[in-house]
């Protein structure tokens, strides 16, 4: 076993999981980056300013941001940077990259000093990759990945029935390299650009796995993956089941349609499955919460300057009365955590499963002239009871693991949810 693999595997128990956002234009609160495509900038959500769901206090004037930028510009040590460039030009033995490549490297170095992996610079080529695929069909391996605090890329969850799962990739695996390209030390989006690729091509992954003495080589054949945003069905014992795969621009509409069909069958209770849901649009998180909640607070957004924005739900929606539980796991992030946190805090539903990922920060995308993008953390989210989501995640009311050796077709977390609804809620089968 190489020293590199030993260090990575040994650190698994010590390092918390962090997730970088992936979002397009508009107000997109982020989702766990998926190796299957990113919601493109061409599909912005409806403006929340048109919805009666937010109350804003202590607004921060635009002039204040301008003053902060001017101060930073004045303090920046341009002279030393210029001296370094001149000395490289005069003394470096070897080929020096072009000026743009050096500038990109300097930008990434500056961002590292912020100690915030969510504030990130993405070069034009990778920006184009992340903004492609608006149709809901994505080409990749079908795995959700996170960037750990130590800079290694970890598999958070797998999409059922997709290539990564079929090839034997497991949640918790560390992806060290793709072919001859090491991913160690790369940014999240750069790493993704090497793992993604056209359907039918191979991604040869070098993986460090806890408990394995040496790194593994797993070959995954990339595929075109169709995303089913909502899945719904009636289970035995009169319990309805609905799963939401992501909070895209159609999430509330499709979920509402599925709920109408389910409720028409007079179910006794509902299981709402948010496992593996990486997040998405802010307005959809609020509206989905509103489907199940009466009037009250859904979430709080706070920025570093004391600005606060509150988002609310209102009476009169079709899912407000049915007994329900919510399934979550470590792949439930961002918008999923906003919904689950609101339901838990307000006593509307208990959470069953595993602790969620803890993506509770908000990033603003800034498109630069050369096609690159700078994504800057501007705020953090809190639940109605002022519970911090970021870096903490949500702890389920009923913890239930999903062992990796669970036989195909079995679902211990769903079984636990059904058991809870039948017994704890006193529902008669």
Catalytic residue numbers? 334, 345, 359
User: How far is 173 from 143, CA to CA, in rounded Å?
Assistant: 11
Among 238, 31, 252, 242, which Cα is nearest to 130's?
Answer: 31
Distances (CA, A) of 365 to 13, 118, 229: 33, 11, 25
Three-class HEC string of 136-195: CEEEECCEEEEECCCCCEEEEEECCCCHHHHHCCCCCCEEEEECCEECCCCCHHHHHHHH
CB 205 within 8 A of CB 178: yes
Paired strand residues for 303? 379
Q: Is 363 helix (H, G, I), strand (E, B) or coil?
A: strand
Alpha-carbon distance of 17 to 64, in angstroms, equals 33
Label residue 233 exposed, middle or buried (CB < 10 Å: 0-12, 13-18, 19+).
Answer: exposed
Alpha helices, DSSP H, located in 241-334: 251-263, 282-292
> Which among 21, 62, 31, 28 is positioned nearest to 48, based on CA atoms?
28
Tell me if 241 sits within 8 A of 415, measured CB to CB. Answer: no
Two structure tokens written together for 329: 């796991």
């Amino acid at each position: 076993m190489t020293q590199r693999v030993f260090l990575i595997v040994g650190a698994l128990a010590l390092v918390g999981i962090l997730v970088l956002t992936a979002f397009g234009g508009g107000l997109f609160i982020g989702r766990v980056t998926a190796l299957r495509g990113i919601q493109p900038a061409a599909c912005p959500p409806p403006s929340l300013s048109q919805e009666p769901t937010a109350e804003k206090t202590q607004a921060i004037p635009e002039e204040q941001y301008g003053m902060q930028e001017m101060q930073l510009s004045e303090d920046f040590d341009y002279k030393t940077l210029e001296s370094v460039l001149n000395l490289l030009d005069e003394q470096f033995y070897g080929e020096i990259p072009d000026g743009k490549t050096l500038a990109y490297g300097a930008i990434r170095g500056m961002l590292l000093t912020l100690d915030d992996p969510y504030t990130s610079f993405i070069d034009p080529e990778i920006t184009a990759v992340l903004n492609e695929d608006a149709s809901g069909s994505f080409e990749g391996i079908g795995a959700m990945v996170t960037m750990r605090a130590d800079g290694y890329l970890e598999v958070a969850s797998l999409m059922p029935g997709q290539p990564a799962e079929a090839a034997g990739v497991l949640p918790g695996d560390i992806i060290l390299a793709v072919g001859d390209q090491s991913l160690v030390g790369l940014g999240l989006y750069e790493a993704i650009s090497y793992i993604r690729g056209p359907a039918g091509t191979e991604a040869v992954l070098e993986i460090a796995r806890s408990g394995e003495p040496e790194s593994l080589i797993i070959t995954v054949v990339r595929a075109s993956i169709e995303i089913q945003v909502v899945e719904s069905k009636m289970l035995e014992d009169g319990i309805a089941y609905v799963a939401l795969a992501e909070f895209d621009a159609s999430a509330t509409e499709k979920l509402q349609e599925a709920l109408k069909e389910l409720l028409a069958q007079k179910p006794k209770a509902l299981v709402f499955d948010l496992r593996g849901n990486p997040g998405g649009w802010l307005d959809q998180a609020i509206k989905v919460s509103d489907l199940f909640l009466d009037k009250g607070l859904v979430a709080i957004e706070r920025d570093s300057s004391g600005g606060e924005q509150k988002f609310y739900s209102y009476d009169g929606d079709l899912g407000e009365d049915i007994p329900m539980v919510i399934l979550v796991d470590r792949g439930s992030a961002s918008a999923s955590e906003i919904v689950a946190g609101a339901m838990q805090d307000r006593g509307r539903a208990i959470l069953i499963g595993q602790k969620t990922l803890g993506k509770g920060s908000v990033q603003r995308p800034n498109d630069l002239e050369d096609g690159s993008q700078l994504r800057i953390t501007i705020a953090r989210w809190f639940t109605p009871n002022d519970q911090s989501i970021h870096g903490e995640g949500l702890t389920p009311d009923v913890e239930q693991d999903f062992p990796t050796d669970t036989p195909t077709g079995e679902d211990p977390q769903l079984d636990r949810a059904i058991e809870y609804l039948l017994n704890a809620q006193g529902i008669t089968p």
